[in-house]
Amino acid sequence: MSLNIVPFVSVDNMMKLVLHLGPERVMTEIAAYIEADFKRWESFDKTPRVASHSDVGVIELMPTSDGEMYGFKYVNGHPKNTKEGLQTVTAFGLLAEVDTGYPILLTEMTILTALRTAAMSALAAKHLAPKGATTMAMIGNGAQAEFQALAFKAICGVSHVRLYDLDPTATAKCSRNLAGSGLQVTSCKSAEEAMEGAGIITTCTADKQLATILTDNMVGSGVHINAVGGDCPGKTELHKDILLRSQIFVEYPPQTRIEGEIQQLDPDHPVTELWQVMTGAATGRSDPRQITLFDSVGFAIEDFSALRYIHDQLETLPYSEPLDMIADPDDPRDLYGMLLRAQAKAA
Amino acid sequence: MSLNIVPFVSVDNMMKLVLHLGPERVMTEIAAYIEADFKRWESFDKTPRVASHSDVGVIELMPTSDGEMYGFKYVNGHPKNTKEGLQTVTAFGLLAEVDTGYPILLTEMTILTALRTAAMSALAAKHLAPKGATTMAMIGNGAQAEFQALAFKAICGVSHVRLYDLDPTATAKCSRNLAGSGLQVTSCKSAEEAMEGAGIITTCTADKQLATILTDNMVGSGVHINAVGGDCPGKTELHKDILLRSQIFVEYPPQTRIEGEIQQLDPDHPVTELWQVMTGAATGRSDPRQITLFDSVGFAIEDFSALRYIHDQLETLPYSEPLDMIADPDDPRDLYGMLLRAQAKAA
C-alpha cells in the first residue's frame, strides 16, 4: 500500500475482526500487548490526556509514543448521551510512524476501547486478585459490562458473575448477552447481593458525579476491587473510607490523581504503579486479607497497545479499507502543482 | 446522514472542492472565518499544542473549542522527509459537537493547512502591512509559497512577487505554477535581490534549525515581515536584531514564545496579540516607517476556522464520502449486543 493511503478500520470491519478471532482471544491478546508495553514503561513519552470539558461531557485526546510509533485516541464521555440514543463513549484512534510522521492506521475505537479497558482490568486483576477468586460482582451493567465479564473469564479464570444495576433492564440485557458464554450468571437485586461470595468486585457505572456505589461497610477484607467507572474529575464510585483501607494500584499517577477515585485523597497518598508490579519492581498483593484496588482511568499506552495489536492483525486479516488521507504530490515541495495537475486532468 | 456516519473529505475531494471554488476564493473565505473567530477569541478554550518531538521531526495535536464545536488537527513536521519523497508537513483534522462529543467532519488537512496558513498570513498583513504595498518578496519557494502568493494577491492586493530560494529548482517550480495567476513573478538570485522594492517580506523556509534567512542589514524601515517558517523550538529564520527593531504581532503568546522567532527574546519582550488588533483593542501599524512582524507559528483556532469553513461548504457541495467511524448500537448501553447481532446476521 502506498504511503499516502492509510488503512482504515470501520466499525463494521472491527466487528468482523473481533468476531473472526473471538472477543475472548482478542482481549487476551490485547492484554498481552498491554503487559509487554507496561513492562517497557520508561521507553514511552507520557503525558496526561488533554481534556476539553463542558457542562455535559468531555472530549479528550490521549497521545503517546515509544519512539518508533506514535499513537493517539480521540474519545468523548457524555453520560447524558444514552438518553438521546447515543453512546456515552465513542472513540477513534490513529497510529503513525515517528520517523516520518505519516499515519499508518486509522481505526474506530469505540469497540476497541471497550475491549482494551476490559483487557486492562483483567490484566491488573491477574496480578492483584486473591488466588482462586472465581466469582466476580459486576456493579453497573452498561456498555462495558459484558466485555469485563468475558475478559475476566478468559484472563483470570472467573467462572461466575453476579450482576447488579440500578436499572434492572441493564442487568437483563447483560445477562441475556452472556447466555452461552460459559459463564454462570446471577442477576441480583442489590449491590450487596451481587457481592456475596465475590473475590473480585467490578464497579462500572457512568454518572458524571461523586457517587457512592460502594460504601465502606459493604466491602469485606481479602477482595480485589476493579473500579472502572470513576474516570474524570468529579466522577467517583467508591466511598473514601474504602480507599483508606485499600492498597491502591494505578496506571499513571499524574492522571489518576486528577481523574480517579484517589481524587478524593491527599495528593501524596501512597499508590503503586501497575507497571512496576508487572516488572517485579513493586509488590502486588502481599496478604490474602488485603483489599487491593485498581483505580482504573484508562491511559494512552493501553490504547497504543490496542492500536499496535490491530495494526499487526491487519498484516494477515483483510478487515480494513484504504483511505486517501495524505496528500502525495510527485514532488513533495510542489503541493500547489498537485492542484494544478488535478485541474488539468479534470479539464 | 445518520449520526454514526462521519463525512470524510479525502485528498481527492479537497482538491475538487478547492478547484471548484478556486484557491483565491477559498483563502479569502477562510480568512474571513479566521477573522470572525479571532474577534471572539475569548470564547475559545485555548491550549498550546501538544507536541511529541523526535530527533527528526515533531508530531502535534492542536485542539480547541468554542463551546459549541470542538476541533483538532494532527500535523507532523519532518524537514528531512522531502529527501525521501515525502511531505514535510501532512495533516488531518476533525470537528465534533461539544454537546454530544460526536465527530461531524473528518478531513485531510495537508492542503487545508497550506490554505489556512496562507490565509492567516494575508489576514495579518491586511491589518499590518504598509498602505499600498503591492510587491512581496517570497524567500523560500517550497510547498507553501504559491499559497502565500495567491492569498496576498486575493486579500492584500499584492500584484508582484519576487521569488528566492537556496534551491533554484524550487524557485523555477513556484514561478511555473504562478504563471497565469495574474501575478507578476520575478525570480531572483539572492534574498537581497528578492527584497528590492518589496513592502512585504515573507520568509517560508523549512530547515529545523536556528537559521538566519534575514540579517539585520537586509531589512529597511517601513516593511511588513511575514515570518512563516520559524515555527517550533530550535527553528527560527530571522536574526535577533531584526526582532528588536520590529513591532511584533503574534497569534497566541504562550505558544509563540516557545515556537516562534521570539524564542530568541526575553520571555517578557512585548508582543501584540493579533486578535486584539482585529477587535480594535490594540494598535496595528502606527507609523509608516515602522517594521511590523507577524511571527506566525499557526494556532489551533485557525484550523478550527478552516474546519468550520469546510463543514459549511459541505452543506451544498458534494465533496465528501460517508465514513463508518462511530459504533451505533440500537441501544447505546448494548455495545456487546451489537457484536452478537452482527454475528447472528453473518451466520
CATH 3.30.1780.10 residue window(s) in chain A: 5-111+301-346
Per-chain mean pLDDT for chain B: 93
B-chain residues within 8 Å CB-CB of A16?
Answer: 342, 346
pLDDT digit string, tens, across residues B147-171: 999 999 999 999 999 999 999 999 9
B-chain residues within 8 Å CB-CB of A146?
Answer: 336
Instruction: Give residues 137 to 176 of A whose Cβ lies within 8 Å of B.
Output: 142-147, 170, 173, 176
Q: Which of B86, B142, B327 sits opposite A111 (nearest CB)?
A: B327
Active site residues of A: 231
Kindly report the CA angle at A109 between A107 and A112, in degrees rounded to 5? 110
Which residue in B155, B146, B148 sits closest to B176, CA to CA?
B146
Helices B300-313 and B11-21 meet at what angle, rounded to 10?
Answer: 80
Q: Is the pLDDT of residue A1 over 60?
A: no
Q: What is the mean pLDDT of residues A236-245?
A: 92
Reported ipTM: the value is 0.89
pLDDT band per the 50, 70, 90 thresholds, residue B219: confident
Q: Is the pLDDT of residue A182 over 90?
A: yes
A130-298 to CATH, choices 3.40.190.10, 3.30.210.10, 3.10.150.10, 3.40.50.720: 3.40.50.720
Q: Is residue A276 packed enough to be buried (19+ CB in 10 Å), middle (13-18) or exposed (0-12)?
A: middle
pLDDT given for residue A205 in this prediction: 87
Q: What is the mean pLDDT of residues A119-132?
A: 97
Kindly determine whether residue B4 and residue A11, on different chains, have CB atoms separated by under 8 Å: yes
pLDDT digit string, tens, across residues B317-335: 999 999 999 887 777 788 9
pLDDT given for residue B248 in this prediction: 97
Bridge partners (DSSP) of residue A108 are: A92
pLDDT given for residue A207 in this prediction: 65
Helices (H), chain A: 11-21, 23-38, 110-128, 145-156, 168-178, 191-194, 240-245, 253-259, 274-279, 300-313, 335-346
Backbone angles phi, psi at A221, to 5 degrees: -85, 165
Per-chain mean pLDDT for chain A: 93
Is any Cβ of chain A less than 8 angstroms from the Cβ of B8? yes
Spatial contact of B74 and B60, defined as CB atoms under 8 Å apart? yes
CATH top class, domain A5-111+301-346? alpha beta
Best residue in B4, B14, B52, B89 for a mutation probing chain A (most A CBs within 10 Å): B52
pLDDT given for residue B320 in this prediction: 97
pLDDT digit string, tens, across residues B81-106: 988 888 888 999 999 999 999 999 99
pLDDT band per the 50, 70, 90 thresholds, residue B216: confident
Homologous superfamily of the B117-299 domain (CATH): NAD(P)-binding Rossmann-like Domain (3.40.50.720)
pLDDT given for residue A339 in this prediction: 92
pLDDT band per the 50, 70, 90 thresholds, residue A331: confident
B-chain residues within 8 Å CB-CB of A111?
Answer: 327, 335, 339
Whole-angstrom Cα distance, residue A279 to residue A272?
A: 12
CATH 3.40.50.720 residue window(s) in chain B: 117-299
pLDDT band per the 50, 70, 90 thresholds, residue A327: confident
Give the residue from chain A lying closest to B2, CA to CA: A86
Amino acid at site A275: W
Q: What is the mean pLDDT of residues A239-268?
A: 94
Is any Cβ of chain B less than 8 angstroms from the Cβ of A17? no
User: DSSP letter at B216?
Assistant: G
Determine the 3-state secondary structure of B37 from DSSP. Answer: helix
Whole-angstrom Cα distance, residue A302 to residue A299?
A: 6
CATH 3.40.50.720 residue window(s) in chain A: 130-298
User: DSSP letter at B150?
Assistant: H
Q: Establish, for the pair of chains A and B, how many residue pairs have beta carbons separated by less than 8 Å.
A: 246
Return the minimum-mean-pLDDT range out of A322-331, B159-168, B229-238.
Answer: B229-238
A-chain residues within 8 Å CB-CB of B111?
Answer: 327, 335, 339
Is any Cβ of chain A less than 8 angstroms from the Cβ of B324? yes
pLDDT given for residue B332 in this prediction: 76
Q: What is the mean pLDDT of residues A83-103?
A: 93
Return the minimum-mean-pLDDT range out of A138-152, A190-204, B206-220, B258-272.
Answer: B206-220
Residue of A236 and B19 predicted with greater confidence: B19
pLDDT digit string, tens, across residues B116-131: 999 999 999 999 999 9
pLDDT digit string, tens, across residues B253-312: 998 998 899 999 999 999 999 999 999 999 999 999 999 999 999 999 999 999 999 999
Instruction: Give residues 49 to 88 of A whose Cβ lies within 8 Å of B.
Output: 50, 52, 54, 56-59, 61, 63, 65, 67, 70, 72, 74, 76-78, 81-82, 84-88
Most confident of A83-97, A161-175, A213-227, B211-225: A161-175
CATH 3.30.1780.10 residue window(s) in chain B: 5-111+301-326
Residue B7 C-alpha from the chain's centroid: 23
Would you identify the CATH topology of the domain B5-111+301-326? ornithine cyclodeaminase, domain 1 (3.30.1780)
